[in-house]
Every structure is written in structure tokens, then in C-alpha cells.
Structure 1
Amino acid sequence: MTGVGELLALVSLLLFSANALLIGPAVRRLPQDLGFLLGLTSNVVVAALLVLGQYALGGPGSPPEWDAIALFALGGLLTSYLGRWFWTKSIATIGPTRASAIQVSNPFFAAVAGWFLLDDRLPLVAVVYGLAVFVGLNLASRRRSGDPGEPGSGSVSLKHLGIGLLGALAYGLGNVARGAGVRDWEAPIVGSLIGAAVGLLVYGLVNTDLRKLPSAVRGADPVGRRMWLLSGVLTIGAQTCQIAATQYIPVAIAVVISVSVPVIVLPVSVIFLRREAIGVPTAAGVLLILGGVIGLVVS
């Protein structure tokens, strides 16, 4: 059944890539803080509708497992809240390019945690292909010389490096927690709902002035609102497919495939959207990612 897991991971990659292409225009129309909250709300609503539909058709097929529910909640806290918070913070302090480069360590943390906690032992060929994706992601995330300056364009302090690594660590551990949960209880859609609800609850309580929220939403750009809500649909779909993939393949392989967003986003941006030019390192990185993902799928 590994083919099913790899197919689900590929669908997750396509959905994450579509979201990456959407976020840039969405941020220009609506501030990230409010948009992020709308996206999380959309996560919960869409996941709830999917769960209702699933139960109308007979449910997940097995009774709830409380250990799995706790793991899904922990995964949501780590990914939907802590991972995104540290990720956003690192973008603000060191810029999106360097933050993206640090974020590629997410599969490494997932692989190590999966090995220790889930006994996910990767064959040597999978490690080689995974390393190719890892190197490719790092190359694709580098800022080209001559590009406009960005925050943190000088040397990166250990503090700011630590913030980015904490984000990658939170994502990696969160993915492992969700993978462990879906192996205890094969209910990836319910797991996505639990994780999204936890992320929304914590973010709403910690980062949002609930008294000003209704007026802020009403006064927001309507197109921006719709774009962020669509972003929520795309991300919950991607997360659900990623969680479901871990039922069939090791967590690290599912994560490596689903986070290989540059292999989709960069060609689309260059060829169809005309948004950016790419240099030799970026092109080499995309080819490495593509080769690594193909190798993981067919091996």
C-alpha cells in the first residue's frame, strides 16, 4: 500500500503549492494576522463538514481512541500554532529566503523523531533520495546575489537562527505526533479537525483581541477575505492528505514529498505568472528536488 501513501503525499504537495501561490496576493490585500485567523477558521469549518459527511456515510469505521485524540491535539498545537508562529517570526526577523532555508530542516527533525518514537527505519535508498530533496530545497531557498535586500540581510544571530529552528522542530514533531495518532486510530479527517480546532483556539486566545475582531473582519477587503478562506481550504486538504499518507509510508518520506513546494511553485511562477527569474543554484535545487521526489515515489 506504499503507492497509496505516496499518492496522498503528492496530492498534499499540490495543495500546499497552490496555497503558496495564493498567499502572496492574499497578504497584499489583507494583513497576515487577520488572514491567518481566517485561514484557521476555514480549516476548522471545512474539516468539520468533512467529518460530518464521513459520519453520515458510516464514520471512520472504528471507535475513537483517546490516545490518538491527544496526539492529534498535540500535533495541532505544534504545527498549526507553534510552528506557524515561529515561522512567521523568523520571516519578520531574517526574511523569507533565510527563513525558508532553515525550514527545510523540518523533514530531518521528522525523520529523527519518527525513528526514535515510531520505529520508522528508512532504507538507505530513501535516505539518499531524501538528502537530495533536502539539498535541493536549501539551494532553491537561497537569495540570489543582486536581489533586493530583505530583513536580516547581514549575518544571522544565534537567537534568530534558533527561532527558525524552533519552527522547523515544531513542524517536524507535530507531523510525527499526527502520524502516531493516525496509526492508533485511522481517522485522518477527524485528526485534521482536532488539530485545526486546537490551533484556532490557542491562536485566538493568545494573539487576537476578540472585542475588535468582528469590526476588523467587516472592514477587511472582501477579495482578501475570500483568498484567505480559500487558503484555509487548501491547507486543511493538504494536512489531511499528509496525515493519511503516514498510515502507509514513514512520516519522514511523507513530509519530504509534501514540503517539496519549490518544484511546483518556481516553474509556475517563472513560466506562467512571470513573477520572478531564477538563477543557476535555484534551477539546480529544483532539479534535485524533482529527482529526489521521483526516486522516493518509484523506489
Structure 2
Amino acid sequence: MGEALAVASLLLFSVNVLLVPAASARLEQAAGFAVALVANVVGAAVLLAGQLLLAGPPTAVRWPAVGLFALGGLLTSYAGRRAYFRSITAIGPTRAATLQASNPVFAALAGWALLGQSLPLVALVPGAAVVVGLVLVTRVPGTPGERRSWLLPGTAVALLGAATYGLGNVARGAGVGIWAEPVAGSLLGAAAGLLAFALVERDRGRLLGAVRRADPVGRRLWVLSGLLTIGAQTCLVAATRTVPVAVAVVVSAAVPVVVLPVGLLLGREVRLRPAAVVGVLLVAAGVVGLVLG
């Protein structure tokens, strides 16, 4: 079940990646981010209401877990996502995605250091294949005479985003280990992310005006984006109940396996470089190995 939930998280995240460009074309990213955060909270509340109707109230609240879920939401829903968006502007989407591929590495290190989750060799090998594959898929091709450098302005922001995502996933994994309520935990994290945005964002009036004036289709697309991400995050949190955090994060991060073939079908990818083809195969093999192992 843990592996199946991680794959579900991967699929939901992948659909969101395909959706965001269309949403951004109709409503600017900063305002859309606010709409998506609100949709995160509403979607998680609906999921929790459904759980209450079908399975009754959650178990007794464990306050240490509440703090961990809130911390996870701050690190992922707010800080990690904001840093990722800013790195896209600073160094471009391809380089930002390449550095974001280090998210599972941070999750594995933090899971080992903070939770004592050691990964067996059977998980380390396919996990490494996924990370290498992600780097190959998103690597920027060089031109003759071009000087390669990862130390571009914005590189630190991209790495900060990957690190906060990894640490946030570990915090949520620790929370669900204390209080096995992933839906309630997702709601707490989403609410913490929205509260942080409301407190930190200085230009709230302009963003609200942009949302009100926006194309209604754009608003609906960003709402859908928020629902997809909260669904993906809930599946990821639930997956960590039965599989190590790093394994669940590696599977959910294998977005190019879904996005690139769909992009080809939709005409968004004209061709794939040989290295990218090898990367897709590595990621696919790694995900299969993690799920079957």
C-alpha cells in the first residue's frame, strides 16, 4: 500500500506539472500561488470531512505530531515551493528542476540522521538510479566552447528549495509515525503554509486584486492545481506510514517519467536527447525496483 500511495502521489504531482503552464498563462504565478494555497486547505478539509463520515473521528490528538505536521507544511507548501518558483525565475526551469532532483537525497540524509531510517541495499540501488535518471533528464546540454558551471546566481535558492522539501517530508513522516492521521496532518500543513503566506507576503492587496480581475478559467486552473498538490501530499504522507520517507520521496519525485511522454504526445517536447532517454529509462527502472522491492 505504501508503494501504491507513493505512485499515486507521483501521478498527481505529474498532472500538476502539466497543468501549471496553462494556469500561469491566465493568472500570474504569485497570485496563482495564493489561490493554490487556499485550495490546499479547502481540499484537505473536504478529505478530512469525508474521513469523518466514513471512518469516524481521528484518534486522540498527539501534539508533538501536530507541531511536526505544521513544520512540514511550512517547509514544503510554503518555503520549498516559493524557493522553487524563485529559482525557476533566476536560473531557468531546467536547471531548477535539475537541482530539485536532489530533494530525495536530503530526505534520505535527514531520515537517517533524525529518524534512524537506514535504507537496505535493495532500496539504495534503485533509489540512486532514480536520482541519476532525474539529473540526466533535466540536465542542460552544453554547446561547444561553453563554460559549464552550477554556481549560477539562484543556485543556492534552488538547493534551499530542495533541502526544505526533503526536510519537510521527513518532518511529516515523523509526524505520521507519532499520530497516524495523514489526512489531518495534511490539513495542518496546508493551514500552516497558508498562514505563513498571509503573514509574510507584503503585497497581498495587489495579489487579491489580480485574482479578482483574472480570467475565471485561470482561477479554476489554479484551484485544480491546489487540489492536485494537496492530494499528492496526502498520498505521500500516508505512504510514509509503511515505507521509509526517502523511498516514498524518490518515487514521488520521478515526475519526468510521466511528464516527458505526455509532453511528446501533446507536442511540447519536439525530441529527446539520448541522455534524456537514458534518464527516463533509469527513472522507470528505479521506480519499478522500489515498488517491487
Instruction: Please give the TM-score of this superposition, normalised by the length of structure 1.
Output: 0.93
Alignment of 1:279 with 2:276, yes or no, is: no
What is the aligned partner in structure 1 of residue 252 from structure 2? 258
What is the aligned partner in structure 2 of residue 29 from structure 1? 26
Q: After TM superposition, give the deviation of residue 85 of structure 1 in Å.
A: 1.6
What is the aligned partner in structure 1 of residue 122 from structure 2? 125
**Equivalences for 1:130-145 in 2 at 5 Å?**
130-145=127-142
CA distance in 2, matches of 1:211, 1:172: 32
Residue number among 72, 83, 86 corresponding to 2:83 in the alignment? 86
Instruction: Provide, for residues 232-256 of structure 1, a one-character-per-residue CA deviation record: whole Å limited to 9, x for no partner.
Output: 1110000000000000000000000
Superposition RMSD on alpha carbons, in Å? 1.6
Distance 1:59 1:263, change over 3 A: same
Distance 1:109 1:189, change over 3 A: same
Alignment of 1:103 with 2:97, yes or no, is: no
Kept in 1, the 8 Å contact 2:32–2:211? The answer is no
Instruction: Provide, for residues 10-38 of structure 1, a one-character-per-residue CA deviation record: whole Å limited to 9, x for no partner.
Output: 00000000101101111111100000110
Amino acid at match of 2:192: V
**How many corresponding residue pairs?**
289
**Equivalences for 1:131-280 in 2 at 5 Å?**
131-145=128-142, 155-157=149-151, 160-270=154-264, 272-276=265-269, 277-280=271-274
Q: After TM superposition, give the deviation of residue 117 of structure 1 in Å.
A: 1.2
Q: After TM superposition, give the deviation of residue 154 of structure 1 in Å.
A: 6.9
Distance 1:160 1:214, change over 3 A: closer
Q: After TM superposition, give the deviation of residue 176 of structure 1 in Å.
A: 0.2
CA distance in 1, matches of 2:70, 2:56: 20
Q: After TM superposition, give the deviation of residue 115 of structure 1 in Å.
A: 0.8
**Corresponding residue SS for 1:211:** helix
CA distance in 2, matches of 1:60, 1:296: 33
Kept in 1, the 8 Å contact 2:132–2:279? The answer is yes
Kept in 2, the 8 Å contact 1:60–1:187? The answer is no
Instruction: Provide, for residues 198-236 of structure 1, a one-character-per-residue CA deviation record: whole Å limited to 9, x for no partner.
Output: 111111222253334443222001111111100011100
CA distance in 2, matches of 1:179, 1:55: 22
Instruction: Please give the TM-score of this superposition, normalised by the length of structure 2.
Output: 0.94
CA distance in 1, matches of 2:57, 2:170: 21
Amino acid at match of 1:120: Q
Which of 216-225 and 185-194 deviates more? 216-225
Instruction: Provide, for residues 120-156 of structure 1, a one-character-per-residue CA deviation record: whole Å limited to 9, x for no partner.
Output: 111112101100000000000113457xxxxxx9744
CA distance in 2, matches of 1:52, 1:103: 33
Amino acid at match of 2:14: S
Residue number among 71, 76, 79 corresponding to 1:74 in the alignment? 71
What is the aligned partner in structure 2 of residue 150 from structure 1? none
CA distance in 2, matches of 1:216, 1:94: 26
CA distance in 2, matches of 1:60, 1:291: 40
Which of 56-65 and 24-33 deviates more? 56-65
Instruction: Provide, for residues 274-295 of structure 1, a one-character-per-residue CA deviation record: whole Å limited to 9, x for no partner.
Output: 1112111111100000000001
Instruction: Provide, for residues 22-55 of structure 1, a one-character-per-residue CA deviation record: whole Å limited to 9, x for no partner.
Output: 0111111110000011011101001111112222
Structure 1, unaligned stretches of length 5 or more?
Answer: 147-152
Distance 1:192 1:61, change over 3 A: closer
Kept in 2, the 8 Å contact 1:47–1:189? The answer is yes
Kept in 1, the 8 Å contact 2:78–2:197? The answer is yes
**Corresponding residue SS for 1:198:** helix
Distance 1:208 1:45, change over 3 A: farther
Distance 1:60 1:111, change over 3 A: farther
Residue number among 13, 16, 24 corresponding to 1:16 in the alignment? 13
Structure 2, unaligned stretches of length 5 or more?
Answer: none
**Corresponding residue SS for 2:119:** coil
CA distance in 1, matches of 2:33, 2:267: 26
**Corresponding residue SS for 2:22:** helix
Kept in 2, the 8 Å contact 1:75–1:195? The answer is yes
Which of 53-62 and 10-19 deviates more? 53-62
Kept in 1, the 8 Å contact 2:137–2:277? The answer is yes
The alignment-based identity, stated in percent, is 57
Distance 1:159 1:94, change over 3 A: closer
